[in-house]
Structure 1
Amino acid sequence: MEAGFEPIGPRRAFEGAVEQIAQRIRHGDLGEGDRLPSERQLAEAMRISRPTLREAVKVLSKAGVLEVHPGATGGIFVASGYVPIELLRQQSDVRLAEVAGVLEARRLLEPQVARFAAENASEADFERMQMTIEAHKQMLRSGEVLEREDRFLQLDMQFHVRMAEATGNATVVGLMRSLLRRLEIGRDLALRQPPIPEWVVDIHERTLAALRSCDDAAIAAVMDEHLGGMERAWEQETGRKLRLLG
């Protein structure tokens, strides 16, 4: 497990540790009840001191994301699969002026990721994407969307992570994870419009169907619609035009 964590630069070691653990939970790599590597293993993997790691764990525990169990059978555990966006916003260096660049980069990258995923995905990959759709549907059925909007958006982001993982290319996955991290902070900074839950579920179902069909035209059309929703919302909210390839 510790191999998934990365070294953190010395200037922002504390913020980096908080963000890295939180993002692994938001991306669905770690779920409720999962045990993290030991304090020593985590500190070594991130190349930070154990006191710095403890402070990061303390912040995440206070937010209800982690819990620490003492004793020989204890350790650091994920208390909740939900990470409040406010926690990531506090640690983020994304500025409002940079959000346009994030959206433009996504338009260049993600349609190609979708095509690559369609060509390389296994049935297990498709099933993992379907699981995020089912979680969205459960939220709709229970009427929790308005009260837990950020949780709904977290599942939306996980769908896109699963699609990137379906490419089987670690570099692509890393690029998409970084882009999606900045995108969700950017959305929180820039957009006051809530998501339309029924549309999100529908577009995810149609995206998954297009990937399964491996039809380039269908993939291009659904990805254009998928990305266009947030792009138009950004332009309406800010009065700025994005530089998108026509």
Structure 2
Amino acid sequence: MRSGAPSGTTTADGVAAHFRALIHSGDLVVGDRLPPQRALAKSLGVSRQTVFDALAALEQDGYVNTLRGATGGTFVCELRVPAERWLERLRASIGEFEDVLDFRIGVERRVAELAAARRTTDDLAALRASVTELAASTTLSTYRAADAAFHKALSRAAHNELLERAVFDARAALFFPMDLLDYEPTTSQTAREHDAIVRAVERGDGAAAARAVATHLEHTRTKLHSMLDDHTKPKGSR
């Protein structure tokens, strides 16, 4: 989990938004346990009351579940929220999809080019491990964790903190609708696309790595549009 307080994370709403982004991006997945409130307050530089209010909001929205007792704590849970409530948010954000995708493609193409030039042995090992993990995934939660690990490893291999943050922000924004739509990942296709990116990075071929990333994200665009079209059809027409 990311440490430190991003810009704007000073209120309960800001802290809640921070954790939503971590969940939407796949940095936090179902079953993950959040640190104790005291530790969160210290790491984020806010009061315990702010953390308490943020976690209460997240629980109300269906992102986390708090269990009492010695083995208790606050855990990321499966989103189980009335569909109409999420659909309202979905409709309000449809116009942002293309902007986010265009931004992601531009940023991650550059990330791939730099990764091909700057990657270390450890970077390549992390990329390979994420591809293996994704290919073996059997649930949405494990798929998203592996997908997040891949894009995080790729952005880290570029060795540019600003680009790494840009990739995280774009992924968090893009995963928002996917959380709402009961997304069924095409695991084998994604694993092949990730593998093609890694092979280009291993060869030091920045142009090929950039093309492979663009192809991967254009397929993501196609899947998103397909899901949106299906989800917004009038009932009875599916």
The two structures have a TM-score, normalised by structure 2, of: 0.71
Return the offset for 1:203. Answer: 0.9
2:49 is matched with which residue? 51
Return the offset for 1:136. Answer: 1.6
Identity of aligned residues (%): 19
1:203 is matched with which residue? 193
Amino acid at match of 1:6: P
Determine whether 1:174 maps to 2:180. no
Equivalent of 2:155 in 148, 158, 164 = 164
2:207 is matched with which residue? 217
- Spell out, residue by residue over 1:153-209, the C-alpha distance to the aligned partner (whole angstroms, 9 max, x if none): 3422331122111112111111111111001114445x7763321111111111111
Determine whether 1:101 maps to 2:91. no
Determine whether 1:228 maps to 2:226. no
Q: Identify if the C-alpha distance between structure 1 residues 238 and 33 changes in structure 2 by more than 3 Å, giving closer, same or farther.
A: closer
Residues 142-161 of structure 1 correspond to what in structure 2 (within 5 A)? Answer: 144=138, 148-161=139-152
- Spell out, residue by residue over 1:118-160, the C-alpha distance to the aligned partner (whole angstroms, 9 max, x if none): 2112111222222222222222xxxx3xxx3254234223311
The two structures have a TM-score, normalised by structure 1, of: 0.69
Question: Matched residues in 1 for 2:217 and 2:170: separation?
Answer: 13
Compare 103-112 and 25-34 and name the one that shifted more. 25-34
User: Retained in 1: the 8 A contact 2:26–2:144?
Assistant: no
Determine whether 1:128 maps to 2:119. no
Q: Identify if the C-alpha distance between structure 1 residues 75 and 160 changes in structure 2 by more than 3 Å, giving closer, same or farther.
A: same
Question: Matched residues in 1 for 2:66 and 2:152: separation?
Answer: 22
Q: Identify if the C-alpha distance between structure 1 residues 187 and 57 changes in structure 2 by more than 3 Å, giving closer, same or farther.
A: closer
SS at match of 1:168: coil
Return the offset for 1:47. Answer: 4.5
Amino acid at match of 1:52: T
Question: Matched residues in 2 for 1:224 and 1:53: separation?
Answer: 38
- Which of 1 and 2 has higher RCO (CA within 8 Å, sep 6+)? 2
Question: Matched residues in 1 for 2:155 and 2:67: separation?
Answer: 30
2:235 is matched with which residue? none
Aligned Cα RMSD in Å?
3.9
Question: Matched residues in 1 for 2:220 and 2:29: separation?
Answer: 27
Q: Identify if the C-alpha distance between structure 1 residues 221 and 169 changes in structure 2 by more than 3 Å, giving closer, same or farther.
A: closer
User: Retained in 2: the 8 A contact 1:8–1:46?
Assistant: no
Q: Identify if the C-alpha distance between structure 1 residues 50 and 204 changes in structure 2 by more than 3 Å, giving closer, same or farther.
A: same
Question: Matched residues in 2 for 1:212 and 1:116: separation?
Answer: 12
User: Retained in 2: the 8 A contact 1:85–1:185?
Assistant: no
Q: Identify if the C-alpha distance between structure 1 residues 166 and 35 changes in structure 2 by more than 3 Å, giving closer, same or farther.
A: same
Question: Matched residues in 2 for 1:56 and 1:114: separation?
Answer: 35
SS at match of 2:136: helix
Return the offset for 1:23. Answer: 4.2
Amino acid at match of 2:8: I
Q: Which runs of 4+ in 1 moved over 2 A?
A: 1-10, 13-16, 18-36, 38-49, 55-70, 74-77, 83-87, 148-151, 186-189, 191-195, 231-239
Question: Matched residues in 2 for 1:66 and 1:164: separation?
Answer: 33
User: Retained in 2: the 8 A contact 1:120–1:168?
Assistant: yes
Question: Matched residues in 2 for 1:122 and 1:2: separation?
Answer: 22
Question: Matched residues in 2 for 1:153 and 1:30: separation?
Answer: 8
